[in-house]
Every structure is written in structure tokens, then in C-alpha cells.
Amino acid sequence: MVKSDMRIPKLILGSVFVIGVMLPSYGTDILVGATSVDITPRTPVALMGQFRLRIAEEIHTPLSVNIIAIQSGNLDGESDTAIFVSCDLVYIPRQVIALVRKGVQKRFPGFNTHKIILSATHTHTSPVVEDSTDNATFLYKLPTNITQVSEYRTFLVAQIVSGIVEAWNTKSKGQVTWGTRRAAIPYNRRVVYTDGEAKMYGKVDDPAFDNLEGYEDHDVHALFFWNAKDELIATSIEVACPAQEVEGDSRVDADYWHPVREKLKETYGSQLVVAGWIGAAGDQSPHPIYRKPALQRMVELSGVSRLDDIAERIVEAVTSIYQTVRKERYSDLVFEHKTAVLELPMRIITVSEYLESKRISHEAFVAIREDPDTAASLNTRMTWYGDIVKRFEAQKMNPNPQYETEIHVLRLGDIAICTNQFELFTDYGIQIQARSKALQTIVIQLAGPGTYLPTAKAISGGGYSAVCQSNSVGAEGGKILVEETLALLNGMWR
């Protein structure tokens, strides 16, 4: 079953309620606007992405939100829209999405704010964005003498809203093109042993090491946008690898996207907006899993860090794509954007999972009660396992719990763009791309609050990212997500 806001026009397509459907715009002008706004926090600030609490005293690189607004109209005056908002954050909490849409609605009454797509680059050196006011499963105990979540959230939302308004108001008749190139960036980070057990970042020099669990998606996708003055104003770049090369650092950092932006601006001008999109990469990482000594030797001999090497690979791929496709630009093309709300079956918590989680959560609770200083390392553990206890109790009243999630599917000329909120395992992204009728299909994950969505083989292997604590939705829901996305997507190629 799928729910939708009944106040919003909707069309039932299969088992999906599609929100705010417009007639596709065929052969009409494309209007494009783009901007970048700063979301660097005031320090000291707590960083998100690790179980332990980290307090950043230093800004290593700024954080930004990069926005691309697209609008088209058909001959009858109707139009469709999409506003892509890429944020240097771990993920996008529901509360932030709601507040941004509410803020934009105040500035543009009547605007369909469900056409706003917020996604995250998944940098683990960005501020904590959830507190007790969110329905969060992973909570830090923050000291009172640092920037609080509510303070940063207010600043973040205000910056995003102002950026959307600027991008929308500065739209002009534009052109767009796209392309793809192979560039090895991610590694599959799930190590499988001969007994079938899997571990994230497991040791591969173990005699029991058998294989890496899944495929690695090495294709880089890029779109380029020009304004009415024939100026290249924006590019969106999709890489199937989370931005977490420096994930363990205790400084604010946009990770590899910062050097990518700086290098591209050196070539194409400071006006260039670079929106980073993360492809389906729940089981991917920029960290090498094997041959580490050989790679480290190359770092030492070359003087080029892993971070800069990643950035150079992306920039080289984007530059090559640009040189290949820049003469084939489109100003009038098919443009269609559908937004759907799916209800996916939640992963069922077993009795053994419940009992183990209850024990671990209670142990952490007792430790914190006896020594409050341990909250810095144990509060996330207590709430992470404690959420499983709550879910098991809820199952007693509702044995078939559903998880509501929003997806976007767009057609832009010959290509398709589709989003999901999860840290989606790469196999699902490959399934969507392989079965899509589009010439090129771009998958954007973390367009919402991120929880891992593992495959069936990952769940059987276990380990972090595939255990019940790591996900709200299991493999059954993953299959439905793929099928419903493809139904919407392929329906655009009538």
C-alpha cells in the first residue's frame, strides 16, 4: 500500500501515488538557474557519521549547498520543474526537508514544493543534524557549550531556502547536455569469508578471506548547464562513492567534493556551480580494501594524497565528458518529473535480535548512568540498539509495518534521473540502470534520511550495514523500490 498527501493532485500508477503530475513538456525551452550557498557551521560543533562523539574546533574546508533549478513549458503554458539541492551533509532529515519546503512555500505561494529534491554527499565531517525532535535512531549526547542542532538547523534551512529562491529567480533560457565516463573511485567494502560471514572493512589477509561481496560501479555521470549568455553555469556530477575519504577526522570538511569544485572552477570559472550526487553506494567506499601497502607507496612517492587522487580522477572524467559532449547541447527537449510516495515493508525484527539489542542498549544505559562521561561514546550505541527494542514492541501491534519513503523520477531528453533516500546497495542501482529504457540513467541516493538498504545476500552475510540495526527496510523492500522506480521511469518512454 502507498500513501500520499490527499491535498496534492495525484495519479495512481500501479501501486504508487504520484504527486503533482504535469503533462510532459515536449520540445520546449529549458530555463536554468544555479547558485551555491555556504553552510559551514560555527565552531565548536559536533560532527556526524561515527559512533563516537567528535567535536570540531577547526574548519578544514567550507561546506556548501549547490542548487540547480530547471523549468520547462509546453505550448499550452503548462510547465514542469525540478530543483536539485545537493548538501555537504551525512543525509537529509525529514524535518529539514519539511522546513525547507515550508520556507519556499512562503516565498512562492502555490509553488509545488514536492519538486524540490534535497540530497546529501554523505561527508562524515559535517555537523550533526538530528536531535530528540527528530524520529532519530542514532542520537549523540551533545555538550551545551557547542553549536546545538537546533541552532545549526535554523541556519541550514535559511541558507537553503535563500539559495533556492536565488536559483529560481535567476533562471534564464538555457541549454543542457550530458555524458558518462569510467573512472575507478569506489571499492566494495564488504569482505566475505569462507563460512559466509561478511564484515564491513574486514581483514583480507585472513586465510578465510573468500571474496568481496558485490560489484563496484566505476561510471561517473555528468550534466552541464548553460545560461542565455552561453555561459557554463553549473554541472552535476554523480559518483557511486560516498564522500568519506577523511571520515574519521575531527575537522569540518566537505571531503573530496571540495578539491573537485576548486579544480573545476579553476578551469571553467568561479561562477560554476558543482552539485555532487552520490550514486547507489551503500556497500561502496573510497578506502582501499586490498593491496594497501602498494597504494600507500604510490602516495608517498607521488606526494599526492588519496583525497587529491580521488578528486583528480573525477575531474579528469568530467573534463573528458565535457570535451566530448559540449557541442551537442539541447535547449528544447522532453522534460518530465514525477514524485511518488512508496510504502515499503519494514524489516521484521526477530526475537533473538530483540533480546540482543535490549541487552546491549541496557548495558550502555547503565554505564552512562554510572559514569555520565561515557555518554560521548555510548549514547549512540544505546539509541541505535534501543530503536530495535521499540520496533519489536511496535510489531506486536502491527505485524506488517510499512516504511514511507519519497522517490523522484525525471526524464530530461534521452536520460533519466531517479532518487531514493537510502544508502542503497550498488546491486539495486545496477538493476535500475540495466533495465531502464533511457539512454543513460543516473541514480541519486541519500535524497532524505539515510539508512542502509542491503541486498538479500548481504543480509545473509550479516555485518554492519546489513544487520537489522542498520536498516529500516530489507531486501523485500529493495526489490519493490527497484520495480516501482522502473515502472515510473520506463512509463516516461511511451
Query: How many domains does the structure of the chain reveal?
Result: 2
Examine the domain organization and report whether 386 and 413 are in the same domain.
Answer: no
Examine the domain organization and report whether 177 and 261 are in the same domain.
Answer: yes
Examine the domain organization and report whether 105 and 220 are in the same domain.
Answer: yes
Residue 471 covered by a domain: no
Examine the domain organization and report whether 308 and 421 are in the same domain.
Answer: yes
- C-alpha cell of residue 45: 560543533
pLDDT at 4: 37
Residue 16 covered by a domain: no
pLDDT at 77: 54
Other Cβ atoms closer than 10 A to 377: 15
The domain in which residue 370 lies consists of 349-397
Examine the domain organization and report whether 89 and 122 are in the same domain.
Answer: yes
Examine the domain organization and report whether 78 and 132 are in the same domain.
Answer: yes
Examine the domain organization and report whether 294 and 381 are in the same domain.
Answer: no
Write out the chain's pLDDT in tens, 494 residues: 344 332 333 333 334 455 544 444 455 789 999 999 999 999 999 999 999 999 999 999 999 999 999 998 654 456 899 999 999 999 999 999 999 999 999 999 999 999 999 999 999 999 999 999 998 889 999 999 999 999 999 999 999 999 999 999 999 999 999 999 999 999 999 999 999 999 999 999 999 999 999 999 999 999 999 999 999 999 999 999 999 999 999 999 999 999 999 999 999 999 999 999 999 999 999 999 999 999 999 999 999 999 999 999 999 999 999 999 999 999 989 999 999 999 999 999 999 999 999 999 999 999 999 999 999 999 999 999 999 999 999 999 999 999 999 999 999 999 999 999 999 999 999 999 999 999 999 999 999 998 999 999 999 999 999 999 999 999 999 999 999 999 999 999 97
- C-alpha cell of residue 409: 523520477
| Residue at which a domain ends, from 362, 397, 432 | 397
pLDDT at 74: 53
Examine the domain organization and report whether 313 and 383 are in the same domain.
Answer: no
Listed in sequence order, the residues at least 6 apart from 473 whose beta carbon sits closer than 8 Å to its beta carbon are 344, 345, 346, 347, 403, 405, 422, 451, 453, 481
Residues 216 and 284: beta-carbon distance below 8 Å:
yes
Examine the domain organization and report whether 309 and 390 are in the same domain.
Answer: no
- Express each pLDDT in 367-425 by its tens digit: 999 999 999 999 999 999 999 999 999 999 999 999 999 999 999 999 999 999 999 99
Examine the domain organization and report whether 290 and 387 are in the same domain.
Answer: no
Examine the domain organization and report whether 144 and 228 are in the same domain.
Answer: yes
Residue 458 covered by a domain: no
Examine the domain organization and report whether 279 and 379 are in the same domain.
Answer: no
Q: What is the 3-state secondary structure (H, E, C) of the chain?
A: CCCCCCCCCEEEECCEEEECCCCCEEEEEEEEEEEEEECCCCCCEEEECCCCCEEECCECCCCEEEEEEEEEECCCCCEEEEEEEEECCCCCCHHHHHHHHHHHHHHCCCCCHHHEEEEECCCCCEECCCCCCCCCCCCCCCCCCCECHHHHHHHHHHHHHHHHHHHHHCCEEEEEEEEEEECCCCEECEEEECCCCEEECCCCCCCCEEEECCCCCCEEEEEEEECCCCCEEEEEEEECCCCCCCCCCCCECCCCHHHHHHHHHHHHCCCCEEEEEECCCCCEECCCCCCHHHHHHHHHHHCCCHHHHHHHHHHHHHHHHHHHHCCCCECEEEEEEEEEEEEEEECCCCHHHHHHHHHHHHHHHHHHHHCHHHHHHHHHHHHHHHHHHHHHHHHHHCCCCEEEEEEEEEEECCEEEEECCCEECHHHHHHHHHHCCCCEEEEECCCCCCCEECCHHHHHHCCCCCCHHHCCECHHHHHHHHHHHHHHHHHCCC
Residue 464 covered by a domain: no
Residue 8 covered by a domain: no
Residue 326 covered by a domain: yes
- C-alpha cell of residue 37: 550557498
pLDDT at 78: 65
Residue 461 covered by a domain: no
Instruction: Calculate the average pLDDT of the chain.
Output: 93
Residue 160 covered by a domain: yes
